[in-house]
Structures are given as structure tokens and as C-alpha cells.
Amino acid sequence: MEQQEKIHDLIGVGVGPFNLSLAALLDQIDEVEALFFEQQQTFDWHPGMLIEGTKMQVPFIADLVTMADPTNPYSFLNYISKNERMYQFYFLQRLDIPRREYNDYCQWVARQLESCRFGKRVTNLHHKKDSHDYFEVEVTDIDSGQVQWLRTKNLIMGTGSVPNLPSSFQDVSGEGVFHTADFLPNQERCRNAESITVVGSGQSAAETFRELLKEQRECGYRLDWITRSSGFESMEESKLSLEHFSPDYVNYFYQLPQEQKDQIFATQGLYYKGISNHTINDIYNLLYEYSVGREELNVGLRVLSEVKDIHRKTDGGYALECFHNEQKESFTHESDLVIAATGYKPNVPDFVHHLADFLQWDEQGRYKVTADYRLVKNEETSNEIYVHSGISHTHGVGSTNLGLSIHRNKVIINHLVGREVFPMNEKNIFQTFSV
């Protein structure tokens, strides 16, 4: 076990887009010495859903750095230039980019940042009070198992989210039941299945269904899509609605009472959980084309139907016990494979609970978070834990939005350095949310 006496300014836990953005911005600032640790061997953003033909839901200027510093060398346009694709991108004439290209861009940035260390898992964490207050961070090398302890004045949690499987799905998860996060590794199994059912109604469900639908006639499987929602609803993408993903709305939302925040957030699903219009159009166009000549479709789309339970059949495949929410009737649906598009939940690593007494939690066991993205502490100390994930309850619907991540990193850097490195505009949108 290796221990270092040096005290870093900042250690980041996890290297997803949010912390990678922070690392790229800090790379141009000499005042902060930072390290970021990621257990995966390379940067890979939702690899199980990097389906060809899928595109980002935010414009390319919501890259890692541009909305804070358009001159930063880690911008998406510089990535395009360095890869000699400027004219191809120019002729593409699109603000959105392929999801696979965004992942490749992030990998390009990650390879250049010495502060980002991959194949390293943060496995323990303590707050120490010696001659100096600091955090002691245990980092384990994934390949060798070697452990080192590092010291840091501050932490930044960028641990993202993990697939959320209902308990009934967990009991049978495995070869025939899996989350959309594992779709691409299981795509060949899907091609050889007799029947496939997608459960859920968000963007991941729609993209998975669309990919399966494109191959359905060639592969010959029965394809079903089941949701408890009243319909396969499109995301709210009008320009004024998008202003909810602005610093102005974050600031408005934050100052509301927590009970009211929870009530409002519960009504805003279509701002971030609906299906993009172009994906719905693709699916409908395929269904329409397949119906030419009155050909019978071996496809089903079922709404208002909640999957209450799922179990293996003795002769293979699975039986889904469903309940129709309006007719109040139960029915059974059978399928060879089941793909759960049941969303994600914040990833709170086990070691965070070692700080349970150090931090303040609300009545529902969630972090208490300051307006400038610091976890609220029970102790008087200058050491801070900044946080990227698990803050929707405090900062609202845009907490997982890539465009707002830049704003969040500007706030964090300004607080960390103690001066206004990045100017903060008071007014960013046309509408006003507060009195």
C-alpha cells in the first residue's frame, strides 16, 4: 500500500462527461492541481446504447468546454479540425451530432488529460483533522489491486447513474431479461429470439424498439412494446420550454421549499423523460411502410399496461403479469426476451456512507446541497465536497442536462479558486420565472 503526503487541491470520483468537462476546464487553470479517477479502463459513455443512427439531444456547442470558453483547445470544433473532418461537418449542416461521435470526442479529450486516471477505483474515503484538515482517499488499481492513499483539500463527486431495474425484474435478470444499458452486447441474441418485449416508454425504450423494428421482418421475431403510460409521449422540445434547462431556472427552482420542489419535479417528466420527435417519427414511418399491401404486422404497441411481475416459464421464455390501469383488468403477456427500459438512478458509492455523520441528509435520505453545488456538512471545515449527480431534488430538471453541466462547472471552479474565473450572466433567457 502506497501513501502520499502531498495534499491535492481537488480529487474527482468518476470520469463521465461532467467531471471530464471539469478536468478539461481546469487543465487551462494553473491555480488548481486536480486528479480524477475512473474505474473503467477508458472513457465510454453508455456503450450499450451507442446505436448507429442515434443522435445527441443537445446541440454540439453543449460539448465539454465551449459554453464556458469557446477558445478552449478541447472544444468539439477543435476535435473536428484535428481529425480533418471540418468540411464533412460543415456540409452535414446539423446542430446535433451522432451519439457515437460525442463518445469519440470525449475519448479524444480524455486521452490528452494527464489529470484523468482510468482503471482506478476510489474505494474508501475519510475526513481527517490533523495540522491541516483534508480528505484521505483510497484508490485501488483495477488490474494490479495495488492500493494508494491520497490526500486532498476538496472532492468532486461525478459518479453518475446506474441502471434501475424493478425488484420483479431483478429476480429473473440475466440471459433473457436485461436493461437497455446492455442492449448492444445482447443484440445478436435478440436477432435469434422468437419474441422480444420492450418495457418502458422513454427515449432509451424508443431507440431500442426502433433498432429492433428495423430488423424485425428479416429476423422474424415477434416484437412488442409495453408501457404503463397513457401513450408513447413525445418530449417537450419547444424553444421556450427548453429555457427550463437554463441557469435562470436552476436559480429559481433552488430557492423554492423542498416540498414544493418535489411536487414540481414530479410534473416535469416530459422535459427529460419523453421521446424525441424524430425518434417517434422514425418508428411511425417504419410501421407505416411495413403495412403497405395490408401486410400483417407481427408487432404490438400496448399502453396503460403496467408489468406487475415476471417469471420464467417451464418451457422457456418469460410470462409478464400485467395490469391495465384504466380497465382494471389483469392479463399475461409472454415473451422470449424482455428488455427493461426502466431508467436510471443516482449512483451513491458505498464509501460515501462512511461520511454519513459528516454530511447532512434530508428526510428522504438525499444529499442536502448548497446553491453552488457543495454538500452541506455537519462540521466546520474548509474542505468541500462538490457534487454533479443525485441533485435533481435540489437543482431541478436540468441537473442531468449536458448543456447545464458547463454552467455547474463554472460555478464550482469560481468557488474553488476564490475568484470569478468565468463570468456569470444574470440573465440568459427571454422569460422570467420569479416575481
For 309, phi and psi rounded to 5 degrees?
Answer: -160, 160
What strand order describes the sheet that includes 195-199? Answer: 177-179, 337-340, 195-199, 222-226, 299-302
- Following DSSP, what letter does each residue of 281-341 receive, concatenated? HHHHHHHHHHTGGGPPP-EEEE-SEEEEEEEE-TTSSEEEEEEETTTTEEEEEEESEEEE-
pLDDT value of residue 171: 84
Cell of 164: 434501475
C-beta neighbour count of 89 within 10 angstroms:
18
pLDDT value of residue 356: 86
pLDDT value of residue 275: 95
3-class secondary structure, 102: helix
Buried b (16+ CB within 10 A) or exposed e, 120-149: bbbeebebeeeeeebbebbbbeeeeeeeee
**What is the DSSP pairing of strand 133-141 with strand 147-157?**
antiparallel
Nearest to 61 by CA among 398, 403, 401: 403
pLDDT value of residue 80: 98
Instruction: Judge whether 35 and 113 are in contact, CB under 8 Å.
Output: no
**What is the DSSP pairing of strand 2-13 with strand 34-38?**
parallel
CA distance 320 to 194: 16
Q: pLDDT tens, 100-139?
A: 999 999 999 999 999 999 999 999 999 998 878 999 999 9
The Cα diameter of the chain in Å comes to: 81
pLDDT value of residue 4: 59
- Following DSSP, what letter does each residue of 16-69 receive, concatenated? SHHHHHHHHHHTT-TT--EEEEESSSS--SSGGG--TT-B-SS-TTSSSSTTT-
Nearest to 223 by CA among 239, 244, 208, 245: 208
pLDDT value of residue 352: 86
Instruction: Judge whether 173 and 319 are in contact, CB under 8 Å.
Output: no
pLDDT value of residue 272: 87
Instruction: Judge whether 12 and 158 are in contact, CB under 8 Å.
Output: yes
Residues near 379 by beta carbon (within 8 Å), at least 6 away in sequence:
127, 358
The DSSP symbol for 7 reads E
Which residues on adjacent β-strands are paired with residue 330? 323
The DSSP symbol for 185 reads G
Residue length of the chain? 435
C-beta neighbour count of 44 within 10 angstroms:
16
The DSSP symbol for 233 reads P
CA distance 103 to 91: 21
Nearest to 128 by CA among 156, 158, 152, 155: 152
Radius of gyration of the chain (CA): 23
Taken in order of first residue, the domains within the chain and their CATH numbers are 2-160+347-417 (3.50.50.60), 165-235+273-340 (3.50.50.60)
Question: Whose grid coordinates read 502506497?
Answer: 2
CA distance 363 to 356: 14
CA distance 160 to 16: 7
In order along its 435 residues, the chain shows pLDDT tens digits of 555 579 999 999 999 999 999 999 999 999 999 999 999 999 999 999 999 999 999 999 999 999 999 999 999 999 999 999 999 999 999 999 999 999 999 999 999 999 999 999 999 999 998 878 999 999 999 999 999 999 999 999 999 899 999 888 888 877 799 999 999 999 999 999 999 999 998 999 999 999 999 999 999 999 999 999 999 999 998 999 999 999 999 999 999 999 999 999 999 988 888 899 999 999 999 999 999 987 788 999 999 999 999 999 998 899 999 999 999 999 999 999 999 999 998 888 888 888 889 999 999 989 899 999 999 999 899 999 999 989 999 999 999 999 999 999 999 999 999 999 999 998 999 999 998
Instruction: Judge whether 203 and 275 are in contact, CB under 8 Å.
Output: yes
